[in-house]
Amino acid sequence: MGDRLTAKRKGELLELSAHLGVEFKDLTLLHEALIHSSYANEAKEKNIVHNERLEFLGDAVLEIVVSDYLYRNRVKSSEGELTKLRASLVCEPTLADCAKEISLGDFIKLSHGEDINGGRERKSILSDAFEALIGAIYLDGGLECAGKFIKERLLSDIEKKQLFFDSKTSLQERVQGKGM
């Protein structure tokens, strides 16, 4: 990782970690989770690692934790209902809202251009950072720690978040309903 943690950045990360209720053994994982590719690309000579690999891992952890939670807590729901609910919980708008609730945008490192063009509020950047954060929590503290975080930050008010629904699933249902 070419981007060393300054005392200021370490302080910011410790503040975020305390706010999240997650104690990181390795703050560089949290730091990496908050590095947008635009920032890394802007400083190519420093060989900065961005958050896309952690996002990939976090997405998988999120899927398994949410699926397990729904399976155990929605025993009367069909597979189709569970799939639809899971899709509404792990979609970009929902994850971006979760990121906003914890002020994650304040901690993301962006390129200058991305920053001045509203990147800290962009749903895609926020949801990706939220997934990367989950990946970092998983690597640092394991599945139990990541699951606890997901349950507290995403699944605690599931009925409210259920309002978002997967437009692809909705479209498929309409098309199939019309015999297409």
User: Where in the sequence numbering do the catalytic residues fall?
Assistant: 59, 131
pLDDT at 166: 46
Report the C-alpha gap between 36 and 89 in whole angstroms: 23
Q: What is the pLDDT of residues 81-104, one digit of tens each?
A: 999 999 999 999 999 999 999 999
CA dist list (Å): 132 to 15, 82, 167: 18, 24, 24
- CB-CB contact of 98 with 63 (8 Å): no
Q: Which residues of the chain have pLDDT under 70?
A: 1-3, 45, 161-173
pLDDT at 99: 97
Report the C-alpha gap between 32 and 132 in whole angstroms: 8
pLDDT at 174: 75
- CB-CB contact of 152 with 133 (8 Å): no
pLDDT at 169: 55
Q: What global pTM score does this model have?
A: 0.88
